[in-house]
Structure 1
Amino acid sequence: MARGRLQINLGAAPGVGKTYAMLQEGLRLQSLGADAAAGLIESHGRRPVSVMAEEVEMIPRHTLVHRGAPFEEMDLDAVLTRHPQVALVDELAHTNVPGSRNAKRWQDVEELLDAGIDVITTLNIQHLESLADVVRQITGVPQHETLPDEVARRADQIELVDLPPEVLRRRMVHGDIYPPDRIEAALTHYFRVGNLTALRELALLWLADRVEEGLQRYRAKHGIVTPWETRERILVGLTGGPEGPTLIRRAARITARTPGSELLALHVARGDGLTPAHPAALHAQRTLVESLGGSYHQTTGEDIPEALLQFAEAENITQIVLGASRRNRLSLLLRAGVGQRTIRRSGPIDVHIVHHGRAAGHPVPHRARGIRAPCNWVALAGALLLPLALTLVLVALRDHLGLSSDLVLYLLAVVVIALAGGILPALAAAVVAGLLADYFFTTPVHSLAIGRAGDILALAVFLIVAAAVGSAAGNTARRTRQTAYVAAEARALTRLATAVMRGQDLPALLEHIRENFGLASVSLLERDRRVPGSPWYVVASTGRHPPEKPDQADTEVPADDDLTLAVRGRRLSSDDQRTLAACATQLAIAHARRSTGALTGEDDPRAAAERTRASLLLAASRDLRTPLHSAATALTRLQHAEADQSQLTRDQLLETARSSVRRAAQLVKDLDDLSRLHGGAIDFYLRPVDLNEVLTASLDDLGPGGHTLDLSLPEDLPDVIADASLLSRVLASLAADALRHSPPHQPPALTAETLPGRLQIRITDANQEPRPYTPGTEPTTAPPSAREDNLALRLSRDLTEAMDGTLEAAFTGPSSFSVTVALPTSARSIASRTPHDRTPPPGALPERPRR
């Protein structure tokens, strides 16, 4: 029986419409004649989902009792018996109630797929096991229900159900996701705009990786090795030389001209571990690449063009940027430069050769050069050609040199070959030189026979010396390579230790290891030994198709009893494995430090929210103290009033109590509005509004006291960009606060002034809170006075900033307090509107996201 197909509707957060989209697809298949039934649908009380679910056949659930409470779960046997063509199963990562056949719902789905039933299901990005830690760091909420990534990767089809954060929060405010008693808590915690944006990006990136994996599988299946220009990927080759910044900036300009393209930089280090570039230069170039939005990579290889093109094919590179060679023309005649060799082998990849100030013929800084590996074909060819060329010279000088002089020159040639190629080319050169010397310079000439004993001794000594020199040179080269490897190992461990000390995250540390060893992928795996049969899970990974279990790796290096480093790409030598074991120890330290920090560290966003909440409560308690004390005093005096007190006195006490209670109620309302504003639950629309109409509404809200304000307004006021009702509330609140703090004989003054692009409104009162003030000094905005930090002022400031305005409060004299509101202006272009109109008129600005 063919295995069923799995379709996953993936979402970034609850409420984006995954279940609704699943039901829509089920109904569509029904209309096409398919047999579709719902194994389990979780509506969570959402009416649109409940209404649509009524149109789909529901397979009855079965009830399990756990800890005395009944729970409904999908009846797996009933679904298998019914055996529809398509089964709709909600919440793939759900944990089944104890007593079910399987512990997880995805295991139920696996049985349905094995039975040949197609399944459509839903999943939130935060339930993927590899992203659980990332989601917890973003939202502060641990994920108790997780799904192995491999289960999601095996899906035949993954569809992203997406909503912008603002739209999702609007649905939340309207009660389409959670009941009213959970809305405010959700908006201020999990459903913050930053959280939703980060989760949405995680979902898009994870799905993009799956699309990339699918493309790579297709190319591998069909043997396609040429790059496909699905998007431009520009690779710049770096040597660590002075031309690096020029190449990086040139490649960045190419990238900038192609929307959606990607910039990568690659440094190819020699395979013997000798790095010809200074680490500081490479670090500076890496910093430049990353500042321009690119990524830096490093690999090893003896043949630089080959290593460069292998990386290009693996990363689907479409263009390569290289610098013009710094070698002189004679060197280029003997051997083509890296650029020319790369062009010859690049195939469909475009190669740009960029000229720079240090190109061909210009002096370059001294750099270390490694000793080539012994017995290469160049050295063997030299072992043949150099003695032949020397022989031609010696034949011409036969009348001036003797056999001893000839053998000394031959020995010099052997020494040169030994230093260049090692022992085997040196021995070959010694044999060739000995034969040539015997044939051309010993009697009888032009014969390999030797007539004199002295010549035999000379040739024997020559061969012994040549062999000794070649052996010494070979040993020196081998020890040099060993020293270079040890130095490279020390540098790799030092870089990794430095990255650990700087607090880099585990994926970045694994990327260091992958690039240093030239691997395809690296994973850090962990298991919990406290749970019998506990599977391995991925703590962090990097590269393509990272191993998820130790047996999937080419090489496994244990870091400790419960932590192991698994790598893919190539078999490592024993020396490499020893170095990798040291790196694994460093990773174990970093992982332990991160785990400890996760348990004891403070969540900065939540801590900031707690500090803001504490500050608001402190301000509220301070502001509420005065009206509540006034109300309590008036009521006490009214309760103990003597019978002979006049009715007028009683009415005054009662009015004092009423006004104080009204003031306290207003403060509580301001506190509630501040909380709703910070949680993004207040809607507002920005459009041009007439300030005169807003002021009229504000003064009317103040009652009789509002008409005592001293107004000074220009005749031609421009419209301001604001929400009319919120601006009216801000001005009314500020004016009421000014009236409360001004003496009866000196009412506050309200003035307006037109500035370029903004309108400035200032409310000044004769503050009755004395405060030190020095004439001629600038007004200070420091908050030592409670006047500058009351709830009315904080709410007005937050509302003004939400409308892209500013609010500044300052003492401008020994007993003068001023509040200045500045808002952007617009041409007076909208007619017939009212200050409290909440419907955007034609031509108005579009709705802004709620804050």
Structure 2
Amino acid sequence: MSDAVRADALLDEMPREGRGRLKVFLGAAPGVGKTYAMLQAAQAQLRQGVDLRVGVVETHGRAETEAMLTGLPQQPQQRLEYRGVALSEMDLDGILAKPPKLLLVDELAHSNAPGSRHSKRWQDVQELLDAGIDVYTTVNVQHLEALNDQVRDITGVQVRETLPDWVLQEADEILLIDLPPRELLERLREGKVYVPEQARAAIDAFFSQTNLTALRELAMQTAAARVDADLSRRYRQQGQQAPALRGRLLVGIDGDAQAERLVRHACRVAERRHLPWSVVYVDTGGERDETRLSYLQGAQQLAERLGGEVVSLRGSEVAKTLIEHARERRASLILVGRSRQRLRRIWHLGRGLAERLLQHGQGLEISVLDTEASHTPALSRRRQPVVWRDYLLALLATLLASAVALGLSRVLELPNISLILLAAVLVVAVRSSLGPAMACAGLSFLAYNFLFIPPTLTLTIDRQQDVLTLLFFLLMAGLTGNLASRQRQQLQALRETQRETSALLELSRKLTAATDRQAVLAAAMQQLGLWQDVEVSLLSRSPDALWKVEAGAQRLLTDLERAAADWSWQHDQPAGLGTGTLPDGRWWWLPLSGEEGPLLLLGISPKDGRSLPAERWRLLTALGQPLAQALERAQLAEDLEAARLHGQTEELRSALLASVSHDLRTPLTAMRGSIDSLLALGEQIPLADRRELLEGTRDEAERLDRYIQNLLDMTRLGHGGLKLARDWVAPADIVASATQRLRPVLSALQLEIQVPQQLPLLYVHAALIEQALVNVLENAARFSPPQGRLRVAIEADAEELRFSVSDQGPGIPEHERTKIFDMFYTAARGDRGGQGTGLGLAICQGMLGAHGGRVTVGEGLDGLGASLTLHLPLHTQPQMEEEQ
């Protein structure tokens, strides 16, 4: 390593002298425990006597986090006022006035309130570090600026609060706080991350299993990249290359018949040594026929199936390119096959690839796999079609250059005339290929001898120095033409690679944002549909071997094409057009496979009926890999969701059977007893008692009817069968109708109704809102004491209208107030009691939710009971027609 590189690495560390140290607790998402881990580390520092202070910590109401703050000295917050609202921020000046050794600053990406010194909290931290104060801080990976677009594609949420990546890169220590997505979702549901209402919204919007898994991968990649960069920097400071801690196996392949054998051998070696491994192909820009391309592609596909990494590199010299890549990836072993190409060995002075690797690969283990000559089938080099137009170009270029040289021969010396002919060779090499370039070099050699070497107009050479001149001219023309031709081939190869890379990146970007199977298929068709010369079809196969078109062209398959599709699916290999299996059809089939086999079949049919070029096949194969991974990810997410729904269904079924069996049996038993008494005693029962029995039977029948209605309403809510027939209705009418329906139930209570004279109209489904109010009133009356007060009040403001039902019952414990709206939940005491289906308030919540409303719970009357408030949004009031 050069002294300059080492000096730069040392200079990077010098500014940190006298500067505080920054430790970042990095997480994938809120709730993984970053703040808790930071406070835990601070408690350990406090026990060691470190002078520390809490600058700002956001507990978000989490009890375990608040408990960790106990005993930690805290800096009072700075109070700011913005547009009449009091805000609190970290007191930067107060901290700098009496600086501690260590400061805790939560949420590094936070935006400060207007009026603060810095607009961002990370800028405050930079000032604290410059003052020599060590800082512990927390940040989520989605707040990194460089990942903003990727996070948006993953989650569909644009993160507004970001910080530059260099802030994280300059941190002295990064600690990854990891929590599996399943555990994080459990914490979210238990209210340990957000309050329950926010938690439900967060699960629906941001905290999905797929999003959390992708964010977790980003966090791990960020931390791993930082560790890798830090290790390399430390070694550069010592003037050394970072060693390969675990090592890696690189296997170099070429387009020959032994490439697949070499890949299989590399896989076995990697398994024995427990090493990650990569298959590397170095493209030198030379021409490759279709046979070599097929061998190369087969070896790369085999490596992918065996779990290896496939890498394609560009370079003029294979050995040096392999060694440079090995050092970049910190590989410890390079495996190659023995070179049997005589022309290449002659070009490198008899040294094969292995000898050149041994010469330049100091510190690397070089292994060479020798193969028997009898096992190496000769590569059938297909003759390239002769492009006579290119050779005609070589002839015309030579004639034109000769004419120009003759015209300038009187003013130019002989060496300068040769440059004109060399220019013609360059032009031909750039515009065509190596063959025409060499033909132009030969013609220019003859023209130079015939026209300009004395005696002119003959091929005779009199002077010995002219022989050397002609030989050097021929050598330079050949080298120039060869070099220009190779540069043109490399340029074409680079363009092909760029097109392939761009297509892969675009498809990967679209697939990253796809969260389900249909979104994956839409992204695939959007990308593949850019090719106007082919038809694309994505097929799925049912268990009874029937094909279904999932997306793309809806075409009837012939028996031959269906047979090719079946074979491709069963053998997990491409088949059809352009392959060695059933190639006579119009479609080329590629299975998109996961770990358990094919997931989908990609079909490509050229519109002109001809087979696509090999480059297009390779690109389609490359595009198939991320598409298959996205399909597998979507299927896994669907399976997990199905398993979760199945579990919830079983829980609901058990709760329904347990609760409904009691609630339906009780009124039926009472009704049966009354009817049996009437049948058995008949006229012997006094008239007043008979009337009482009949009224009791009627009340129990109405009670049973309400239970059944609740079950039907809940079923309609759960299956989306609830239709909202909205109309304008007066709130007072809803209250009057609901109290009239429950008159027998409310007769034993002191009912108070508070309805203002001027109230806005509601645009709602009146029957549903009335039913919701009936459920709340019945629930309150059920647990109110005899002759207890029950108040129904209506309030309104510019945004919403509220129905409040307050009682003097036993009340609802505060820790159960968020649970009473769950189906089949019955509190041990309070407004719900220990009996009942637990459907009334759940239906109430569902009905109001369908209207964009909600239900809240508060304190009851005179410090007793509970108050349930129905919130409904107000709409723009209709214009009343004026009387004529």
TM-score between both structures, scaled by the size of structure 2:
0.49
Q: Where in structure 2 are the equivalents of 1:356-395 lying within 5 Å?
A: 356=371, 362-366=377-381
User: 1:3: Cα distance to partner?
Assistant: 0.8
Q: What is the alpha-carbon distance in structure 2 between the residues aligned to residue 483 and residue 345 of structure 1?
A: 29
Question: Is 1:110 equivalent to 2:110 in the alignment?
Answer: no
Q: Specify the alignment match of 1:211 in structure 2.
A: 227
**Relative to 1, partners in 2 of residues 1:605 and 1:485: Cα closer, same or farther, differing over 3 Å?**
same
**Relative to 1, partners in 2 of residues 1:328 and 1:20: Cα closer, same or farther, differing over 3 Å?**
same
**Relative to 1, partners in 2 of residues 1:367 and 1:96: Cα closer, same or farther, differing over 3 Å?**
farther
Quick one: which amino acid aligns to residue 286 of structure 1?
A: Q
Q: Specify the alignment match of 2:236 in structure 1.
A: 220
Q: Specify the alignment match of 2:311 in structure 1.
A: 297
Q: Specify the alignment match of 1:230 in structure 2.
A: 245
For the 8 Å contact 1:423–1:467, the answer to whether it is kept is no
**Relative to 1, partners in 2 of residues 1:645 and 1:83: Cα closer, same or farther, differing over 3 Å?**
same
Question: Is 1:495 equivalent to 2:473 in the alignment?
Answer: no
Q: Where in structure 2 are the equivalents of 1:390-429 lying within 5 Å?
A: none
Q: Specify the alignment match of 2:27 in structure 1.
A: 11
Residue among 354, 363, 371 paired with 1:339: 354
User: 1:363: Cα distance to partner?
Assistant: 2.1
Q: Specify the alignment match of 2:414 in structure 1.
A: none
Question: Per-residue displacement from partner, 1:58-85 (whole Å, max 9, x unpaired)?
Answer: 1111112223321110111111111111
Quick one: which amino acid aligns to residue 30 of structure 2?
A: P
In structure 2, runs of 5+ residues without a counterpart are 1-16, 385-436, 450-458, 513-633, 669-687, 721-822, 825-884
Q: Where in structure 2 are the equivalents of 1:527-606 lying within 5 Å?
A: none
For the 8 Å contact 1:358–1:364, the answer to whether it is kept is no
For the 8 Å contact 1:322–1:353, the answer to whether it is kept is yes
For the 8 Å contact 1:325–1:359, the answer to whether it is kept is no
Helix, strand or coil: the match of 1:213?
Answer: helix
Residue among 259, 264, 279 paired with 1:249: 264
Q: What is the alpha-carbon distance in structure 2 between the residues aligned to residue 653 and residue 245 of structure 1?
A: 84
Identity %: 33
Residue among 276, 280, 283 paired with 1:269: 283
Q: Specify the alignment match of 1:412 in structure 2.
A: none
Q: What is the alpha-carbon distance in structure 1 between the residues aligned to residue 105 and residue 505 of structure 2?
A: 44
Helix, strand or coil: the match of 2:53?
Answer: strand
Quick one: which amino acid aligns to residue 457 of structure 1?
A: D
Q: Where in structure 2 are the equivalents of 1:692-711 lying within 5 Å?
A: none
User: 1:457: Cα distance to partner?
Assistant: 2.5
For the 8 Å contact 2:438–2:481, the answer to whether it is kept is no
Q: Specify the alignment match of 1:184 in structure 2.
A: 200
Residue among 100, 119, 131 paired with 1:84: 100
Question: Per-residue displacement from partner, 1:241-268 (whole Å, max 9, x unpaired)?
Answer: 2222222222222333444x32212111
Residue among 101, 111, 117 paired with 1:95: 111
User: 1:472: Cα distance to partner?
Assistant: 4.5
Q: Where in structure 2 are the equivalents of 1:112-127 lying within 5 Å?
A: 112-127=128-143
For the 8 Å contact 2:257–2:376, the answer to whether it is kept is no
Q: What is the alpha-carbon distance in structure 2 between the residues aligned to residue 368 and residue 118 of structure 1?
A: 71
Question: Is 1:45 equivalent to 2:61 in the alignment?
Answer: yes
Quick one: which amino acid aligns to residue 149 of structure 2?
A: D
Helix, strand or coil: the match of 1:7?
Answer: strand
> Which has the bigger relative contact order, CA under 8 A and spacing at least 6?
1
Q: What is the alpha-carbon distance in structure 2 between the residues aligned to residue 464 and residue 47 of structure 1?
A: 92
Q: What is the alpha-carbon distance in structure 1 between the residues aligned to residue 383 and residue 23 of structure 2?
A: 57
For the 8 Å contact 2:260–2:299, the answer to whether it is kept is yes
For the 8 Å contact 2:461–2:467, the answer to whether it is kept is no
Q: What is the alpha-carbon distance in structure 2 between the residues aligned to residue 330 and residue 22 of structure 1?
A: 61
**Relative to 1, partners in 2 of residues 1:277 and 1:502: Cα closer, same or farther, differing over 3 Å?**
farther
User: 1:362: Cα distance to partner?
Assistant: 5.0
Q: What is the alpha-carbon distance in structure 1 between the residues aligned to residue 68 and residue 341 of structure 2?
A: 73
**Relative to 1, partners in 2 of residues 1:658 and 1:201: Cα closer, same or farther, differing over 3 Å?**
same
Residue among 173, 176, 183 paired with 1:160: 176
Q: Where in structure 2 are the equivalents of 1:443-522 lying within 5 Å?
A: 457=462, 459=464, 462-463=467-468, 465-466=470-471, 469-470=474-475, 472-496=477-501, 498-499=503-504
Question: Is 1:350 equivalent to 2:365 in the alignment?
Answer: yes
User: 1:645: Cα distance to partner?
Assistant: 10
In structure 1, runs of 5+ residues without a counterpart are 370-418, 432-453, 508-601, 635-642, 676-790, 793-851
Helix, strand or coil: the match of 1:155?
Answer: coil
Q: What is the alpha-carbon distance in structure 2 between the residues aligned to residue 461 and residue 148 of structure 1?
A: 68
Question: Per-residue displacement from partner, 1:36-92 (whole Å, max 9, x unpaired)?
Answer: 111111111112222332311111111122233211101111111111111111110
Q: What is the alpha-carbon distance in structure 1 between the residues aligned to residue 300 and residue 19 of structure 2?
A: 48
Q: Specify the alignment match of 2:326 in structure 1.
A: 312
User: 1:495: Cα distance to partner?
Assistant: 3.0
Question: Per-residue displacement from partner, 1:307-360 (whole Å, max 9, x unpaired)?
Answer: 111110111001222123234699589612212322343333222322446689
Question: Per-residue displacement from partner, 1:209-252 (whole Å, max 9, x unpaired)?
Answer: 11111111122222323x62422311111212222222222222
Quick one: which amino acid aligns to residue 658 of structure 1?
A: R
Helix, strand or coil: the match of 1:457?
Answer: coil
Quick one: which amino acid aligns to residue 216 of structure 1?
A: S
Mean Cα deviation higher: 160-169 or 13-22: 160-169
Q: What is the alpha-carbon distance in structure 2 between the residues aligned to residue 160 and residue 503 of structure 1?
A: 26
Quick one: which amino acid aligns to residue 289 of structure 1?
A: A
Q: What is the alpha-carbon distance in structure 1 between the residues aligned to residue 28 and residue 344 of structure 2?
A: 61
**Relative to 1, partners in 2 of residues 1:368 and 1:234: Cα closer, same or farther, differing over 3 Å?**
farther
Q: What is the alpha-carbon distance in structure 2 between the residues aligned to residue 297 and residue 368 of structure 1?
A: 29
Helix, strand or coil: the match of 1:167?
Answer: helix
User: 1:96: Cα distance to partner?
Assistant: 0.8
Q: What is the alpha-carbon distance in structure 1 between the residues aligned to residue 344 and residue 490 of structure 2?
A: 32
**Relative to 1, partners in 2 of residues 1:667 and 1:238: Cα closer, same or farther, differing over 3 Å?**
farther
Q: What is the alpha-carbon distance in structure 2 between the residues aligned to residue 459 and residue 258 of structure 1?
A: 64
User: 1:157: Cα distance to partner?
Assistant: 0.8
**Relative to 1, partners in 2 of residues 1:317 and 1:458: Cα closer, same or farther, differing over 3 Å?**
same
**Relative to 1, partners in 2 of residues 1:274 and 1:148: Cα closer, same or farther, differing over 3 Å?**
farther
Q: Specify the alignment match of 1:830 in structure 2.
A: none
Q: Specify the alignment match of 2:160 in structure 1.
A: 144
